[in-house]
Amino acid sequence: MVKVKDLVEALQLETIVPARSNKLPIESSDINRPGLQFTGFWDYFAFERPQVLGKVEMTYLEMLDAKTRYERLSRFFSFDVPCVIICRNIRCFPEMEELAAARGIPVFRSTFVTTKVVLDMITFLNNYLAPRATRHGVLVDVYGVGIMITGESGVGKSEAALELVKRGHRLVADDVVDIRRVSDVRLVGESPEMVRHFMEIRGIGIIDISTMYGIGAVIRSKSIDMVVHLELWQEGKEYDRLGLNDEYTDILGVRVRKLVLPIRPGRNVAIVLEVAARNLRLKEQGYNAARELDKRLTERLARGAAGEDGDL
């Protein structure tokens, strides 16, 4: 469901026929341009989608005689259409207003061209209807990489984020991260509006990062590119020391790289997170330091074995 107010504000729409409810029954980001339906082809009519009428559809309707146009529009509005958007500031037909009002179907008008309206609407609905989840953690932007820091309470997540802010990076959310899946491979996190830009530091209390460090120290939302899980060092537990195999975690059906970072007194977590962000960028560009070292060792061993065979 989409709030009418949010749709009108996001797409800068003019209301021609108001909606009877403050919400529209829209459940996907797909739209439909009903040109074929106005010609009389009603099979596979995606009536459950928002209907966008551009210059082509409106010009065709204008070419029809009044009786035929009324019949086509009557059939069109007999379906439970969520809403109709007319583009290019084209005049709405009186019979369209009449039929829409009778069925309680809202009609809006935009001054923008059809392509822009379609693109803006798909983008808006993708974000508005995206699957959501809330996770405990801290989200920071480090060298353009969105790192979500997780871990038990008191392990030092906020302190690590504060050190990163001091080093010129940006805070997105502290303690609570609202996550949206905006595509099959991309997650975006942000802070709940009530606590946006605030951070809790044990022993000090609540601080406002944007006021204390400037507006450049915060950002409203950021993609989640990596999850770094902080945990207290456990004696006897084997930790990855080479990084040959990438570990992933699943959030809303999206696989996100995961790094488990053991914490000991005196360890500078902020520097390690900076290195993790830089290393992720290198991996995305095709360079993996651990695999490069493994390759060199393999080549050295192969050369050594060849030399021994030659001696024989």
Catalytic residue ranges:
136, 157, 175, 241
Of the candidates 160, 130, 156, the one whose C-alpha atom is nearest the C-alpha of residue 142 is 160
Is the Cβ–Cβ distance between 49 and 82 less than 8 Å? yes
Is the Cβ–Cβ distance between 84 and 108 less than 8 Å? yes
Is the Cβ–Cβ distance between 188 and 137 less than 8 Å? no
Strands 132-136 and 254-263: unpaired
Report helix, strand or coil for 242.
coil
Secondary structure letter of residue 32 according to DSSP:
B
Tokens of 116: 């822009």
CA distance 302 to 245: 23
CA distance 269 to 166: 13
Strands 2-3 and 107-109: unpaired
Is the Cβ–Cβ distance between 246 and 227 less than 8 Å? no
Is the Cβ–Cβ distance between 125 and 26 less than 8 Å? yes
Task: Find the helix or strand (DSSP H, E) in which 186 lies.
Answer: strand 186-190
State how far Cα 312 lies from the chain centre. Answer: 63
Rg of the chain taking only CA atoms, in angstroms: 28
